[in-house]
Amino acid sequence: MQKTVTLNNGVNMPLLGFGVYQIPDAKQCEDVVYEALMAGYRLIDTASGYLNEEAVGRAIKRSGIPREELFITTKLWIQDAGYESAKLAFAKSLKKLQLDYLDLYLIHQPFGDYYGAWRAMEELYREGHIRAIGVSNFLPDRLMDLIVHNEIVPAVNQVETHPFYQQAKSAAFMKEQGVHHQSWAPFAEGRGNLFSNEVLASIADKHNKTIAQVVLRWLVQQDIVAIPKSVRKERIIENIDIFDFELSADDIERITSLDTGETLFLSYHDPEFAKMLGTLRVEL
């Protein structure tokens, strides 16, 4: 039985899942999601902006796994932010995934009319179409603003989190507010030479594990939900094999020392980045 965390509305969410960002090829995406489900993953994380919801839906159907055993997440893209458009986008995502309900629906980016979108999501949640609602990439100030001016506190905030950008202050804030911390890019997409880092390599050698397994163990040991992605079957299997060892306090301290406090991707404080995302149109 996969380990879970309990969200602020009592829903249980698997601690480890499988992400499908940057797998736009339909056949490949369907195959790797199917392999992940066969390997034991029960949380699958996609987004309308990834353009692969239909492939994920086919893999789910192909797996034959009872729906109640799965935890499926997708996300609302910026161009669909707003009350009416969010409801339409949700219906479209549900149809593509071939599902009757979602386990978690996230606002993908903190731009556009996400207040209107949140009101629509609150209604969909109350009507039973979504088991939990949350956000992604929300900095503490925007997260607090959303909490203060709405009725439902987000269950999850999915943010960049890896050994080089550990989000300690944001994590503490989220915990205070009852918002569960979820990591995207747990391996930093290999940036910063993560897979050859000497500290991580020595900890991996000590436990007879890989660097990837150490990073995932470091996250889940802190109750941070991780969604690693791979298109290789052996890595998919390897990444879920992290529940038979435990990092020591010294291991954790050494990994903590790797934190630079800086994003390895793009800053949400950058107005040019906000402009670029806000004007990006995706053929959904």
Per-residue pLDDT of 129-162, as tens digits, reads 999 999 999 999 999 999 999 999 999 999 999 9
Long-range interactions of 260-269: CB distance < 8 A, separation 24+: 260/164, 260/165, 261/165, 262/164, 262/165, 263/160, 263/165, 264/160, 264/162, 264/164, 264/165, 264/185, 264/188, 264/189, 264/191, 264/192, 265/160, 265/185, 268/110, 268/137, 268/139, 269/139
Helices 114-126/140-148 angle, 10° precision: 60
Dist CA 53 CA 34 (whole Å): 13
Is 115 marked active-site? no
Residue 49 clears pLDDT 70, i.e. is over it: yes
In this prediction, residue 63 carries a pLDDT of: 98
**pLDDT above 90 for 59:** yes
Q: Which residues of 239-252 are buried (b: 16+ CB within 10 A; e: fewer)?
A: bbebeeeebeeebe
What whole-number distance in Å separates Cα of residue 252 and Cα of residue 266? 26
**Domain-embedded: residue 213:** yes
- 171 in a structural domain: yes
Asked whether residue 284 is assigned to any structural domain, the reply reads no
Domain range enclosing 181: 4-279
In a domain, 274, yes or no: yes
What's the number of domains the chain is made of?
Answer: 1
- Establish if 95 belongs to a structural domain: yes
State the pLDDT confidence band at 284, using cuts at 50, 70 and 90: confident
pLDDT in tens, 178-207: 999 999 999 999 999 999 999 999 999 999
Given 50, 125, 165, 268, the catalytic residue: 50
Q: Does residue 60 contact residue 72 with C-beta atoms inside 8 Å?
A: yes
pLDDT of 1 = 66
Q: Domain holding 10: CATH number?
A: 3.20.20.100
Q: Which of helix, strand or coil describes residue 260?
A: coil
Identity at 70, one-letter amino acid code:
L
Q: 64 to each of 12, 37, 60, 61, 70, how far by Cα in Å?
A: 21, 10, 7, 6, 11
Q: What pTM did the predictor assign?
A: 0.97
